[in-house]
Amino acid sequence: MALRIPRFGPFPPLVRRICGGLLLAVTVVLTPAAAAAGFVAAAFATASVWLLAAAGLVVAAVVAHLLGGAAFRLLGRGGLRATATLTAVLLLGTTALAAATVFRPMPAPAAGPVPSGVRFWDLPTGSRIAYVHTPAAGTPRPTPVIFLHGGPGTPGEGTPTAGRELAADGFQVYSYDQVGAGRSTRLSDITGYTVARQVADLDAIRRLLGADRIVLVGQSWGGSLAAQYLRAHPTHVAKAVFTSPGALWGREYPGSKVGEPWDDLTPAQRSRRDDLDSRPRLIAASLLLGVNPRAAHALAGDREVDHWMHEVALVGKDTTSCAGAAPTEAHNNPQGFYSNQMTVKDFEQLPDPRPALRSVHVPSLILRGQCDFVKPEVTQEYRTTLPNSRLVHIQGAGHALTHAQPRLYTALLRAFLLNRPLPAPAS
């Protein structure tokens, strides 16, 4: 006896209309999403923003046509004409949405005038580096002191804390804006922002100064950079100071694993930060950075993302201090967004520098604040890795030691560089 399998007839008209209406709604939602996916996916092949936009619209048109056609067939009306009309309307809407969000530039105010004390080095690496020089008083010592700012991409302004006192002790004192930050060169190809480029720039500065050896004072990321330079050129470093240093090895502490500076935001600060982070153009550029950095740079230029980073810095400038500390003073030296993003990415891919540093006997001073957000084990690693190092814990200070304890910080630097007893216990 043969088994008879029943056949289901066509869906009832009401069910078809409901399914068609639902599919039509899905089409309206998915078309812009498909455009965004096509826009980002095309970055695997090109950095041209116009080609990215064209790819996004082509993908959106295909999705709108296929899904819209299926929706109208279920609805039993319109056919090809209705599908074409829907596709055109959705493409126009997607284009208008993109123009109002992703393709609408963020604020990018013009840079202010360069302060009178800022000068420039044109290095053989191709970097044009802005710097401040505090001349030595009396008989200059043979080892210039070079301050390295943090970030990457967050320079200071003017003569750094302790700079004038060290100059009075006979040191030539320099602080400079690393490539891609402050008033220094912005690279046309942002993949050039690497740790090797930073080390090469620093060594070019040493040679330009005519110094066989230099003293390095690195703050936060500047400490990480000082360690990289020490690994590459140990014979050219007389002494090194690591002030609230970042990770010694980026791959060991990627991202926020080094410590989280944003945990103590007030509700108002959190709201402001969320508003800054939710800008569609920034989100698009961030997505492109993971696929094709050149495409991200073509979409969002240096001035607008540097200004965005400046606004973020203003939100968090007081979050890394001890509770109740006085507000820090803001400055207008530009931030460096792409220098930050690309240098950090490169730093987290470098080989372990610790085996080489364990054989470097350059005298080193490590300073850590009581309220530093950087994990204690990150700082301690400098002490255990560098054989001729001392670690000083400073009470009542956060990540920015120079803000909370400028006198003690200055006294420590002077004592260390002048071979005098430290004014605080060291370990």
Task: Give 218-252 pLDDT, tens digit per residue.
Answer: 999 999 999 999 999 999 999 999 999 999 999 99
Query: What band does 323 get if pLDDT is binned at 50, 70 and 90?
Result: confident
Q: Check residue 16 and give its pLDDT.
A: 80
Residue 268 clears pLDDT 70, i.e. is over it: yes
Of the candidates 72, 37, 70, 80, the residue with the CA atom closest to the CA atom of residue 56: 37
Reported in sequence order, the residue ranges of 114-246 that DSSP labels E, i.e. its strands, are 118-122, 128-134, 145-148, 173-176, 214-219, 237-243
The reply to whether 404 falls in a domain is yes
Q: Two tokens at 293?
A: 């950095």
Q: Are residues 125 and 43 in the same domain?
A: no
> pLDDT higher for 237 or 111?
237
Q: Check residue 13 and give its pLDDT.
A: 76
Tokens 């393709």 -> residue:
103
> CA separation (Å) from 69 to 60, 62, 83, 180?
14, 10, 5, 50
421 Cα distance to chain centroid: 38
Q: Two tokens at 168?
A: 């009075």
Q: Check residue 8 and give its pLDDT.
A: 40
As a whole number of angstroms, the distance between CA 376 and CA 244 comes to: 10
- Region 72-96: mean pLDDT is 88
> CA separation (Å) from 306 to 8, 172, 271, 283?
63, 31, 20, 15
As a whole number of angstroms, the distance between CA 358 and CA 361 comes to: 8
Question: Are 411 and 420 contacting, i.e. CB atoms less than 8 angstroms apart?
Answer: no
pLDDT tens, position by position, 382-419: 999 999 999 999 999 999 999 999 999 999 999 999 99
Residue 359 clears pLDDT 50, i.e. is over it: yes
- Assign residue 348 the CATH number of its domain: 3.40.50.1820
| Domain end residue (candidates: 100, 130, 155) | 100
Question: Are 247 and 220 contacting, i.e. CB atoms less than 8 angstroms apart?
Answer: no
The reply to whether 427 falls in a domain is no
93 Cα distance to chain centroid: 34
The reply to whether 109 falls in a domain is no
Average pLDDT, whole number, for the chain?
Answer: 93
Residue 6 clears pLDDT 50, i.e. is over it: no
Q: Check residue 164 and give its pLDDT.
A: 97
Q: Check residue 139 and give its pLDDT.
A: 84
Domain that holds residue 252: 118-417
The reply to whether 406 falls in a domain is yes
The dihedral built from the CA positions of residue 225, 228, 234 and 239, taken in this order, carries a sign that is positive
Query: What band does 1 get if pLDDT is binned at 50, 70 and 90?
Result: very low
Q: Are residues 26 and 127 in the same domain?
A: no
The reply to whether 65 falls in a domain is yes
Percent of the chain with pLDDT over 90: 82
Whether the pTM exceeds 0.85: the reply is yes
Burial degree of 370 (CB within 10 A; 0-12, 13-18, 19+): middle
Q: Check residue 201 and give its pLDDT.
A: 98
Q: Check residue 284 and give its pLDDT.
A: 97
Query: What band does 45 get if pLDDT is binned at 50, 70 and 90?
Result: very high
The reply to whether 62 falls in a domain is yes
Strand partners, 369: 394
Total number of domains in the chain:
2
Q: What secondary structure does DSSP assign to 286-326, as a single string?
A: HHHHHH-HHHHHHHS-HHHHHHHHHHHHHHHTTTTSPTTPP
3-state SS of 26-94 is HHHHHHHHHHHHHHHHHHHCCCCHHHHHHHHHHHHHHHHHHHHHHHHHHHCCCHHHHHHHHHHHHHHHH
Q: Are residues 79 and 198 in the same domain?
A: no
Q: What is the number of other CB atoms lying within 10 angstroms of the CB of residue 130? A: 21
User: Angle 188-193-195 (CA atoms, 0-180°, nearest 5)?
Assistant: 160
Indicate the DSSP class of residue 156: -
- Region 283-304: mean pLDDT is 97
pLDDT tens, position by position, 162-199: 999 999 999 999 999 999 999 999 999 999 999 999 99
Strand partners, 392: 367
Q: Check residue 11 and give its pLDDT.
A: 59
The reply to whether 199 falls in a domain is yes
Is residue 241 helix, strand or coil?
strand
Q: Are residues 378 and 409 in the same domain?
A: yes
Residue 125 clears pLDDT 80, i.e. is over it: yes
